[in-house]
Amino acid sequence: MKRAVSSIRSRHVARLAAAATAASPAAAEAWDGRFRLHKPRGQHLLTNPRVLDAIARRAALRPGDAVLEVGPGTGNLTVRLLESPAARVSAVEIDPRMVDAVTARVDALGLAHKLTVIRADAVEAEFPEFDVCVANIPYGISSPLIAKLLFGPYRFRAATLLLQKEFARRLVAAPGDSEYNRLAANVRMVADARLLMDVSKRDFVPMPKVDSSLVEIRPRAAAPDVDLAEWLAFTRSCFGQKNKTLGAIFKQKRKVLELFRRSHGAKERDNANAGGGGSLIALGGGDDDGDMSDGDSNGSYDGAASFSEEEVAVFKAKIAGALESSELAGKRPSKLSNDELLRLLKLLNEQGVRFQ
């Protein structure tokens, strides 16, 4: 049975290779319907040659570069990356049908020596070392993939990502913009992001419901002077109700009790983990407005019951004092720069307030 399945798969790959060899470059980019594309999984193939050329050009690949491509599909962009000055391309693809298609196409073009295909979930897989990431990624994994790239162990020069247009606008938003949110604040802490160009939904097969935008993300050379896990947890608290002022957010009984529990739990964790390392918490989604995480709906938190009301009141006063010192109590988080938010976080930490 295994031998029969292997034989069928081999014949299928051979047919793909023959088709790739016979097709003209322009025809090879068009979708021939050889298998069903799953729209719910975000399988939309970019087929416009001019847009594909522009993405490869914008990636600004250099001789010797190692390229990471996420979601190669049938290889429309992959081929251009392989034909660039880059030394090699590692493509991460979860769909075995796409793996067969891109492998056959690259084999037929004589470029297989530069390509490594990793069949895996891009969010879960361990990436090889790379200098540049280029990706036309499914919309559903945009936020976790960016979090993995920027807050994981990877060191790279730039990422050129094709994203849903609305998501891209939120990603590059600046303080004061209507789209400014937690995602933008967190990305700005470690990288610079900018829009490169818009891409019409008509350039994809099957056509998605929305347009896309190409974004460049460049990590900063110097790491920020902040505990990133603490910062990520802090911005979650701030942007959970981003249209409220910071004073209103941090005077809520529910929020005070949450932070009281976390702060006293943090002391225990610090004692238990002295000398050890910790893992980064994941980057959140693009807009967390209205999200209030942790704790029961009635405002009761494990750990708070073992302390007196006086202790909680003293803790609340410390939060109020930090807000007063920062002069940010009347400000909305969506209007503040990272420097201002970072100043508030440091004042709160000095008062023993912890967010993770």
Give phi and psi for 160, each to the nearest 5. Answer: -110, 110
Report yes or no on 295 lying in a domain: no
What pLDDT does residue 274 have?
42
| Close Cβ partners of 356 (under 8 Å, ≥ 6 residues apart) | 229, 230, 232, 233, 262, 266, 281
What pLDDT does residue 135 have?
93
Same domain for 167 and 192?
yes
Answer for the pair 58, 134: CB distance below 8 angstroms, yes or no.
no
255 token code pair: 């929020």
Same domain for 250 and 337?
yes
Same domain for 180 and 121?
yes
Report yes or no on 6 lying in a domain: no
Q: Which domain holds residue 106?
A: 26-219
CA–CA dist 158, 149 (Å, integer): 10
Same domain for 58 and 32?
yes
Report yes or no on 71 lying in a domain: yes
Same domain for 177 and 243?
no
Same domain for 150 and 235?
no
Report yes or no on 282 lying in a domain: no
What pLDDT does residue 122 have?
94
Tell me which residue of 124, 135, 256, 233 sits closest to 186, measured CA to CA.
233
Q: What is the CATH number of the domain that holds 168?
A: 3.40.50.150
Same domain for 128 and 202?
yes
Binding residue per annotation — 192?
A: no
What pLDDT does residue 40 have?
60
What pLDDT does residue 31 have?
62
Residues shown for the chain: 356
DSSP class of residue 305 equals G
Same domain for 46 and 187?
yes
Q: What is the CATH number of the domain that holds 255?
A: 1.10.8.480
Domain count, the chain: 2
Report yes or no on 10 lying in a domain: no
Same domain for 175 and 231?
no
**Mean pLDDT, contiguous 10-residue spans, the chain (356 residues):** 45 45 52 66 87 98 98 96 98 94 96 97 96 91 95 96 96 94 96 98 94 97 91 94 92 93 70 42 47 36 65 95 96 96 97 94
Report yes or no on 153 lying in a domain: yes
CA–CA dist 30, 47 (Å, integer): 6
**Alpha carbon 31 to its chain's center:** 28
What pLDDT does residue 148 have?
96
Binding residue per annotation — 44?
A: yes
Assign residue 207 a region: left if phi > 0, alpha if psi is -120 to 50, beta otherwise?
A: beta
Binding residue per annotation — 228?
A: no
Same domain for 182 and 230?
no
Binding residue per annotation — 76?
A: no
Report yes or no on 35 lying in a domain: yes
What pLDDT does residue 139 have?
82
Binding residue per annotation — 93?
A: yes
b vs e for 91-114, b when ≥16 Cβ sit within 10 Å of the residue's Cβ? bbbbbebbbbbbbbbbbbbebeeb
Tell me which residue of 337, 24, 11, 340 sits closest to 177, measured CA to CA.
337
Whether the predicted model's global pTM rises above the 0.85 cut: no
Same domain for 75 and 177?
yes
Report yes or no on 334 lying in a domain: yes
Same domain for 148 and 215?
yes
Binding residue per annotation — 136?
A: yes
